[in-house]
Every structure is written in structure tokens, then in C-alpha cells.
Structure 1
Amino acid sequence: MEPQDAGNYPRTGWEGVRKTLECLGIDPSAERDARLMRLIRVMLQLQEKSSTALRFGDIYNALRADDPQKVPSKACVHRDLKDLTELELVRFENPSGRKRRYIINVDTIAQGLEHVQEAMARYLTTELETIKRQLEKLQSIDCSKLAEDMVYELIGKRRHSGIRFARGVDGMHRLLLSGILASAGPGDVIRTTAMFIRPLVDGALDRSVKFVKAAQAGADVRYLITSDLFLLAQEHQSNIDFPRVVSMLKQIQNIPPGGGSFRLRVHFGPKTYNHVSLNRERVALILTEEPIATTMVTREFNPDLVDNVIDSFDESWKSAVPLYDLTEEHFKSMGLKSDNLFVRALQSLRRGEE
């Protein structure tokens, strides 16, 4: 029967309570925690019958009566009571008194659970920082170089990776980071085209930052996009962080002295290779749109393919329009509305320049 004073409190049953306790690091099914739960229950039942603090003898006798087949030693009960007071689920009537008497009720339990919650939060925060560091280290591994080093150490011969494959958006960007972006610096040219971009919408800004960082490190980044980007932004602009777009465009405009450059141009012609390349050394080709499939090809593996991709890009680059030179006529020809996110971002930058 439900208690009369339950009100609108959502009853989850013991299973719900147990799962929530497990979040706090308390496992009622484990031997020690099960023993503590039994002690808490017995003490609560005693406290319901008494308006005074509980004596050890009364608690021990109640445990014996609760289950004569499972009577713990007095030393064990003393240890468990010590644990409960340290967890603040139970408190002493007079902490400095010679004779210890114990108080337990919903308030002491709430205070104790908050104490446990804070301790678990501190532990998880520390663990999270450790996991973040491990994740950063994991993501920084260049698997091609590792494979080459591994082969060399095993057989004493240096073998270079000529072609690699990746699946999915995240796999593609890991491949780009390890194979191109992380190693780019002064004097290097990164060419990239975004001929289809719909699968790349989620997290696109986060991934674009890596190209900006490559430019800041000294590389010459040439980024070719299609007008589809503007139309796609129009569809999804309610989910795009406008101030962040403006901030990124400002970063692109203001690469610090000693850095490279980041040039954006809009391609209005027929679609060409969707790729990212480093100089004429290697090319990452995006083979299929949905699902995303990418392959990294080196010059040593297929020089003709690398040259064809670069030459095709350079031709498109010559006829493309620099992003900051787009006019109202361009916007109208693309069928863009005045509230388009990128149109507003460019207008905002121009007002700032003026």
C-alpha cells in the first residue's frame, strides 16, 4: 500500500533507487554496501520507534532480531557504524561525548548522499581530465608513420605507405589531420575543395578550425567552395552559431604576421574532385558522399592522379570568386535571401572594415 503522504512524488521502486545509488558509487548488491543498507534499514526502523538517539546495544540487538541467521560480530557493526558516520549518513548525538549515540533520519541520509555525490563528482572530474588527455594523445597518433616505424623495427626495412582509406566524416578528418594538416607549415600549400557538403554540416565549424590552424602555422591554405554552401546554410542556419561564423571569418582575414594565408573562393563552374592535398606530395580524395569514403594517395603511389587533381583545382581556382569580393548580384544569382547566414556574416565584416 502506498503511504498516505506520498503526494505527487514519483515512485521508482527499489530498482530505481538502486540504479541511482549506483551512480553515486553505492552498490547495494555488493557485500559491504548490502551490509550497510541492512544496518541503515534496521536503524531507521529503530529511530521510528524512538525520539532519542540510538545506543550501540539497541542497534546490535535489533540486527540480531532482524535475521538470527545473519548476526554480524560487534566489531563488524562498530566498523560499519564508523563508515556510516564518515559518509555522514549517520551522525553522532554528541561527537565529543564519551558514550556514542547515533541519529539517523531522512535529513542525515540526504546530507550523507550529498557528501557522497560531491566526492563522486570530484573523482569523475579527475577521470574525465585523464580521459581527455588520453583522447588527445590517441587522436594525435599518425597511424601511417606508426605503421612504417613498426615495419622498420620488425624487419629492418623502411616501407612507405602509398594509399590509405577512411570511412565516415570523423575517419576522414582523422586522415586529413594525420596525413596533411598536422605536418603542414611555412612554404606548404594546402588545396581543398568542398564540392558536396551536406554530410559535413554537423561539426563543420569545429573541423574547419584545423585548416585555420594550419594557416596560422605558416601554410598557404586555398579553400574552394561551391554556392551550395550558402543554400545549405540557409536550410540549417537556425542550428548554426552566427557569432562563431563571424569570428572564424575574422580569424581567416587576420592571420598573424609570420603565419601563412587562408584564402576562400567560391566556385560557380561544374563540380570537380572533392579533395584536400598537400603540395604535390599527397591527395586525400573523397570518393563517395553518403556514406563518406576517403582515400589518401601519395605521389609515389600514383603521380598522374595527384597531378590531375592539382591541375584541375588550379584551373577552377583561377576562375573562382574570392569570398570577400562577392556582390549583391552574386547573391541574387544564387537565389539567396537577405537573411542568409553567410550573407549577413560578410555584410557584418564589411561594416566592421568601414
Structure 2
Amino acid sequence: MTQLGFGPDTRPLSVLRAMMRIQSTPSRSLDVSEIHGSLLRAEPGTALSKGWVRKVLDQLSNMQMIRVENESESRKKYISDINTIVAGLEQLKGRTLSSLEKRRAALQARSNELSAFNFSDVARVLEGKTAGRAQQPNSGLLKGLQSYADFADAEIYEKAVPGDVIRIAQLQLRPFRGGITEGVNRTLRAAESGAEVRCLVTVDVLSADDFLAEVFPENALVEFFVKAYGARQKGLKLDLRIDTGHTGLYHLTSLNKDNMVILVSEDPMAAMWVSRRFNPDLIEAAIASFEQIWQGLTPLIQDPKHPELGVPTTKPSFFLEALKAAATIVASGGT
């Protein structure tokens, strides 16, 4: 009850207890004098007037903790029972939850604003005004899904033009819960812009049937595969391949050999972005590892008559069933 602001040291609770101590039956009503006397006996030495008790009784009445039997000021009597107490606590709970929800919404708004804020711009302006230099940051730590998505959008997907290559190595899905559907659509948009998209996903990720069913509600994954087949038929360079468990592969998203985001922590989610100016050797090594594995894998989304090509196992799974359903739609001329 302390969380409701009705803790053991509050005066309203002291008065309520004083009533409960002298009620011989739950239906017996009490006047102010009786309640005042019970309170003084429970707390000897306190100078609590009847007028003060009346004020607290009014509070309890407004809180629905007690019921007033007679509205006449001189003849007012009060009743407290299990029903009034439950009603009062429920009202307090509702008020408390409403207050907490407002605070939560305000904190979430501040959190979103802070997460989306680009401190690189602040640092660049500060350095420019102070030292007269105009530099661009070339690395940084990204904390949380929103920061990861914002950077990938601004520095990779939105900068990609025809002829560019976007490489995606998806070793984990769970850190991206809540942003997976948008991430899938992002790859489609990048291919439609003319960039070549190479997406490598591990078989472990695709074996998590329950998780995939949760993050791809209804037919969302089928719809993606239908669009992916359509993109391939239009000559767009969208390629998906499944890795069976090579070592030395980073979870990454990169644009050519210029910018790269590497996942470094799942919980809490954190990623490191690096530019070629910051560490060309790291980017070269990561992409070389990606390409070595990529070249040995069979492409998916090639022939809708044989959707299982490129899938390491043909046993039923959420992923394979969605792929087959999409292939059936495409083979029948649907979109």
C-alpha cells in the first residue's frame, strides 16, 4: 500500500485502523467522538482534535475508504468494511497507475529524443567554433536499437546509389526485436534504389521458429519473399544466402568499404561504427571474411519452382514454409 501513498505512517490509515478497532460488526456506524477516542487510546500523548479527525474522515470518504451514513454535519456517522476498503484501494491504484503512465510517457519521450540526438554534430560545431577546424567523426559507439537503425539509415542505406554494395551479416535477431520488419523493408528499398544488397543469415537465426513467428506476424515473411522474388525478376541485385556456421564472421552492415556497423553487445545492445578513415584494416578484414564465406554459399530466391535450393535443410520450419508459400504465389503469377 506504500506504493499507493497509503503507507503505515499516514494519518488516514491511522484513523481507518482506529475505526476498525472499535467496530463490533462491519455494519456498525461510528461518530466522530468514538473514532477520536479510539485514536487517542491507540496513540496516547498525541494532541489530535476532533476537528482534525473530521478532516481526515472527509479524506477517507473522498477516497471511498469509508461510507458516510448521515450527511447531516451534526449527526454524521461513518462505516468502514471490506467493500469500502477495496473500493478505496482500487481508486488509489487507478490514480497511481495514471500518474505513473504520465511519468513513463514523459520519460520515454525524453529517452527517444536523447537516443536520436546526433552528438557528432555538436562535437563538430564545438570544434569548429573553438579550434577553427572542420572535421567529421570517423567512429563511434551506438547504444540501443534506435541509434543503430538511425545510423544505418543515414550512413548506409540512404547514401547507397546504383553500383554500391551493401553487405549484411545477420548473426543475431533477438537484439533487433521491434525493428526486424523495418530492417527487412530497408533492404528492399536499398535494392530498389539500384544498390547491390548481399544479405547473409546464419542457419541458427532461421531455426528459431517461435521467435520468427513472433516478429513476422501473419504473412509478413511470405510477403517479403514475394517482393524479393519480384525484385530478382526485375533484375534488381538482392541476394540472400544462408551460412551454416563459419567462424570469423562479424555481425555487420556495411556500405562498400567506406562505412561499417559491427554489433559488439547483445544485451544491452551496442554497436561500433567505423569508417575507412578510422580503421581501413578492420574494414578490409571484415569484408574479406564476409566475401570468402559468401562465395561458397548457394543463393536463395532464384527459381520459384525450387525454393529449397540454398536452404541447408529441407525439414519443415517457419522460414522454409514461408519461402515455399511465396514461391508458389510467384510461380502462379501472383505478386
User: Shared fold (TM-score greater than 0.5)?
Assistant: yes
Asked if 1:202 is matched to 2:151, the reply is: no
Distance 2:72 2:86 in 1: 23
Q: Deviations over 1:139-195 (max 9, x none)?
A: 2123433433444455453332223356xxxx4756633433245427445623326
Tell whether the 8 Å contact from 2:241 to 2:297 is kept in structure 1 after alignment.
yes
| Residue type at the aligned position of 1:71 | A
Q: 1:77 to 1:301 in 2, by over 3 A?
A: same
Q: 1:253 to 1:26 in 2, by over 3 A?
A: farther
Please state how far the C-alpha of 1:294 moved relative to its aligned partner.
Answer: 4.8
The structure 1 residue matched to 2:273, chosen from 281, 296, 312, is 296
Which ranges in structure 2 are unaligned for 5 or more consecutive residues?
none
Tell whether the 8 Å contact from 1:211 to 1:221 is kept in structure 2 after alignment.
no
TM-score by length of 1: 0.71
Alignment partner, residue 87 of structure 2 = 111
Please state how far the C-alpha of 1:22 moved relative to its aligned partner.
Answer: 2.2
Partner SS for 1:84 = helix
Asked if 1:24 is matched to 2:15, the reply is: no
Distance 1:221 1:210 in 2: 18
Please state how far the C-alpha of 1:57 moved relative to its aligned partner.
Answer: 1.8
TM-score by length of 2: 0.75
Alignment partner, residue 185 of structure 1 = 158
Distance 1:214 1:317 in 2: 21
Instruction: Give the fraction of aligned pairs with identical amino acids, expressed as a percent.
Output: 19
Tell whether the 8 Å contact from 2:225 to 2:323 is kept in structure 1 after alignment.
no
Alignment partner, residue 31 of structure 2 = 55
Tell whether the 8 Å contact from 2:226 to 2:329 is kept in structure 1 after alignment.
no
Partner SS for 1:127 = helix
Tell whether the 8 Å contact from 2:115 to 2:147 is kept in structure 1 after alignment.
no
Alignment partner, residue 335 of structure 1 = 313
RMSD: 4.0
Distance 1:121 1:291 in 2: 27
Distance 2:62 2:219 in 1: 53
Tell whether the 8 Å contact from 2:145 to 2:179 is kept in structure 1 after alignment.
yes
Distance 1:252 1:93 in 2: 69
| Residue type at the aligned position of 1:212 | V
Alignment partner, residue 103 of structure 2 = 127
Alignment partner, residue 217 of structure 2 = 244
Distance 1:125 1:290 in 2: 25
Distance 2:223 2:38 in 1: 73
Distance 2:16 2:26 in 1: 15
Partner SS for 1:192 = strand
Distance 2:65 2:15 in 1: 11
Alignment partner, residue 159 of structure 1 = 135
Please state how far the C-alpha of 1:346 moved relative to its aligned partner.
Answer: 0.5
Please state how far the C-alpha of 1:48 moved relative to its aligned partner.
Answer: 2.3
Q: 1:232 to 1:325 in 2, by over 3 A?
A: same
Superposed, which structure 2 residues align to 1:249-268 within 5 Å? 249-251=222-224, 253-254=226-227, 263-266=238-241
Distance 1:100 1:290 in 2: 60
Aligned length: 315
Asked if 1:100 is matched to 2:76, the reply is: yes
Partner SS for 1:276 = strand
| Residue type at the aligned position of 2:158 | G
Alignment partner, residue 88 of structure 1 = 64
Q: Deviations over 1:306-330 (max 9, x none)?
A: 4675677678767754432263663
Q: Deviations over 1:260-282 (max 9, x none)?
A: x8934115697775331235531
| Residue type at the aligned position of 2:167 | T
Tell whether the 8 Å contact from 1:165 to 1:293 is kept in structure 2 after alignment.
yes
Distance 2:99 2:267 in 1: 41
The range that moved more, 109-118 or 134-143, is 134-143
Q: 1:47 to 1:320 in 2, by over 3 A?
A: same
Partner SS for 1:277 = strand
Q: 1:289 to 1:96 in 2, by over 3 A?
A: closer
Tell whether the 8 Å contact from 1:276 to 1:283 is kept in structure 2 after alignment.
yes
